[in-house]
Amino acid sequence: MTSDSNSRRTAVITGAASGFGLEASRIAARRGMNVVMADVDAAALQLAAREIESLGAAVLPFRLDVSKAAEVEALGAATLARWGAPHLVFNNAGVGAGGLIWEHRASDWDWVLGVNLMGVAHGVRVFTPAMLAAAAADPEWEGHIVNTASMAGLVNMPTMGVYNVSKHAVVALSETLFQDLALATSQVHAHVLCPFFVPTGIAHSERHRAGDEGQRAAPTPSQRIAQQQLERAVSRGKVSAAEVAQFVFDAVDAKRFYIYSHPGALSGVKSRMEDILALRDPSDPYAAQPEIGAQLRQALRRT
């Protein structure tokens, strides 16, 4: 830890050992911030923390499962004890799962909602009061809370049901947080990140899933198809995790709420809003690529 670390701004980043979280940690370090790096993967976290320390940052690595309230509370206590209220909280940890929505088991819902939604809710619940207190004590103090949702929080593609639900909830939580903070302060700001397909490790989230190994059934055909689709889409992503992390810091600097990695994907949001306002059934998500929709229907109907 450098001698002036207590005078630096502090960032708390979950999912910090890879993907957006690691790239955000690198940017925070280059900006001279203290970095609290939280992740469920202890080995990857240790390596990532060493890298960020090599960039000159003071780092507090913290292994946790964000779905566990007590563990996020412990993260908050450790952060406050070390550096006080953080100036940036990036509630970023997330997992993915696919398949026909009725084929998800109760444990699938618990896992995805636990990480994607409750991980964000716990981060907001734990850190916002401390940030508000810091703002009340210092009129120059400023803080930002960034929650990672997805374009899946704004549209509803098939075979992504549990993931869609979790990310729509994060968008709703974040929009409400924005409105609630506006009532309480002008010094703490909310943001929501809605990335599209970006090469990260989310297609292999199951590797960190714990608790029901002996109860898991073999994946259904639709789940195998959804996994293949996700791996293909993620691997072909043209926008990097580093670029997305930079978009996050750019939005924080500009105090801009919505953060998109692929603005062109908003055409799907527009179609959805038009369907809602016109009382139309949801549009065919494969209207522009009917051959893909036909292949998917054929694959699912012969299973």
So what's the pLDDT on residue 236? 73
**Positive or negative, the Cα torsion across 271, 277, 278, 284?**
positive
- Alpha-carbon distance of 39 to 34, in angstroms, equals 16
Residue 177 has pLDDT above 90, yes or no: yes
pTM of the model: 0.92
Q: Enumerate residues 6+ apart whose C-beta is below 8 A from 34.
A: 5, 8, 9, 10, 11, 57, 58, 59, 60, 82, 83
So what's the pLDDT on residue 231? 75
So what's the pLDDT on residue 6? 64
Are 229 and 159 in contact, with CB atoms under 8 Å apart? Answer: yes
Domain boundaries, the chain: 5-264
Q: Is 163 a catalytic residue?
A: yes
The number of C-alpha atoms within 13 Å of 115 and in the hemisphere containing its C-beta is: 25
So what's the pLDDT on residue 204? 66
- Alpha-carbon distance of 226 to 228, in angstroms, equals 5
Amino acid at 251: A
Task: Find the mean pLDDT for residues 75-83.
Answer: 98
Give Cα 162 distance to the centre of its chain.
15
Residue 279 has pLDDT above 60, yes or no: yes
Phi, psi of 40 (to 5 degrees): -80, -20
Residue 2 has pLDDT above 50, yes or no: no
- pLDDT, greater one: 17 or 201: 17
So what's the pLDDT on residue 220? 86
Residue 17 has pLDDT above 90, yes or no: yes
Are 98 and 230 in contact, with CB atoms under 8 Å apart? Answer: yes
So what's the pLDDT on residue 223? 86
Task: Find the mean pLDDT for residues 178-197.
Answer: 96
So what's the pLDDT on residue 289? 85
Task: Count other Cβ atoms within 10 Å, centred on residue 41.
Answer: 17
**Tokens, residue 250:** 């750019």
The CATH fold of domain 5-264: Rossmann fold (3.40.50)
Rounded to the nearest integer, the mean pLDDT of the chain is 91
So what's the pLDDT on residue 216? 61
pLDDT tens-place string over residues 101-148: 999 999 999 999 999 999 999 999 999 999 999 999 999 999 999 999
